[in-house]
Amino acid sequence: MMATRFSSLFSVLAGLAICIISFVPVFASAQEAPSTETVFAQSKQRIAQIRILEKSANTKASLGSGFIVNAQGLIITNYHVISDLVFRPDLYRGEVYFGDGETRPLRLVNFDAVHDLAIVSTGKTSPEFFDIDPRPQPKGSRVYAIGTPHDLGFTIVEGTYNGLLSGSLYEKIHYTGAINSGMSGGPAILPDGRVVGINVATAGNQIGFLVPSVFALRLLKQPPLGKMPALEALRRQLLDNQANIVASITRQPLPTANFHGYRVPVTLGDFSKCWADTDQQISAIYQRFSQQCSSEDDLFLYREHSTGKLEFQHDYISAPKLNTLRFYNLFQQFFERPYNDMGGPPEDMGQFECKTDFVARNGLKMKLALCVRSYKRLPGLFDMILKIATLNQNHEGLQSSYQVSGVSFANASKLAYQFAGAFAWQK
């Protein structure tokens, strides 16, 4: 089956030659500028610690935070906090620790892996809960992040709302304030108690990120998982998400620019960040100039495994002092270098299977190597690596690589076709 898919793909590549929730305020009004102490006191009955325990030892394996959002006691947290329950429910269980000291078993109700959110329940009703406000706030608004950092107890951190991040695949709020390990999934609230974001990540130095609360509202409106296996729900979410991203990228040709006489892709879109480097040591037998471009976002799956990243790199290599044979030996060594580690536990990932071919396009002769591997527990998803080497000159050449994780085979084909088709010879 894989061989058939490769043949089909390379026949294509060879063809290159031709609403707001209402609520009754229970906090002091914003105009009264309540103290941080008051905000925390009025919130502590609505927050919780999420604990993931290893079953055999019945000991905590990881921690996060959450907050109650309705009278039925539903709790919002991050997907990454409860991801062990999605991938290894045989090894892990969850529980919720409340501020009054009560601990209850946790049940996973639903999740949104794309926006890193989850809903859990303990069966405990709650007369007190947070109201969610999906509206963007003025930049500079005072916001309080609440959670349980490093298992040190319930903590409140005052910070600043700095609007949505630009150049990102997924909407995130830039929060100026400390979000430490263990605070993930906790609420970020205004002084009057409305939740405007969910703690999700930090870049250190008071740079934090929040999931906009509108996505929590959307998740609450979705039907629960019910009898659907969690891994199947995750698979469907990832397939839908990658289809939307690929459709956006392939809607029009990739922007290109001149790179040492070659026309090459220079960006994947507004969500990607690009940079350059060079290696020109006087004693070296060759010179190398590089350009790189990658998305800044990926999607957390489980433990050390993420997916959904796109990145490419161009390397122009020049060795005018080498004869043709030595240059091509050097050029081949670069081409055969191991690809960057794309992560993922071996038990969850298939082996890369590769196909090599030669094509011509826009005055360029190119060697292509396409490698893909499958996700064992998420059928229909693949990682792709495309390598390109130009063959037009005897003492210099261009090599490019394109890595994409978590796409369907059909969309891997579309991305490879688009990328390879953007190259042209300009000398």
For residue range 129-139, list pLDDT tens digits in order: 999 999 999 99
Does the pLDDT of residue 43 top 50, yes or no? yes
> What HEC string does the chain produce?
CHHHHHHHHHHHHHHHHCCCCCCCCCCCCHHHCCCHHHHHHHHHHHEEEEEEEECCCCEEEEEEEEEECCCCCCEEECHHHHHHHHHCCCCEEEEEEECCCCEEECEEEEEECCCCEEEEECCCCCCCCCCECCCCCCCCCEEEEEECHHHCCCEEEEEEEEEECCCCCCCCEEEECCCCCCCCCCEEECCCCCEEEEEEEEEECCEEEEEEHHHHHHHHHCCCCCCCCHHHHHHHHHHHHHHHHHHHHCCCCCCEEEECCEEEECCCCCCEEEEEEEECCCCCCCEEEEEEEEECCCEEEECCEEECCEEEEEEEEECCCCCHHHHHHHHHHHHCCCCCCCCCCHHHECCCEEEEEEEEECCEEEEEEEEEEEECCCCCCEEEEEEEEECCCCCEEEEEEEEEEEECHHHHHHHHHHHHCCCEECC
Nearest Cα neighbor of 424 from 196, 206, 266, 240 is 266
Torsion (CA) 155, 158, 160, 164 in degrees, nearest 10? 10
pLDDT tier at 15, thresholds 50, 70, 90: low
All structural domains of the chain: 2-17+236-425 (no CATH), 33-227 (2.40.10.120)
Tell me whether strands 272-279 and 262-265 are parallel, antiparallel or unpaired.
unpaired
For tokens 């122009």, what's the residue?
A: 316
pTM: 0.89
Q: Residue 8 is which amino acid?
A: S
Does the pLDDT of residue 20 top 50, yes or no? no
pLDDT tier at 18, thresholds 50, 70, 90: very low
Does the pLDDT of residue 65 top 90, yes or no? yes
Does the pLDDT of residue 13 top 70, yes or no? no
User: pLDDT digits over 282-294, tens only?
Assistant: 667 889 999 999 9
Mean pLDDT of the chain: 90
CB atoms within 10 A of CB 335: 18
| Structure token digits, residue 143 | 């916001």
pLDDT tier at 295, thresholds 50, 70, 90: very high
Does the pLDDT of residue 406 top 80, yes or no? yes
Mean pLDDT over residues 154-175, rounded? Answer: 93
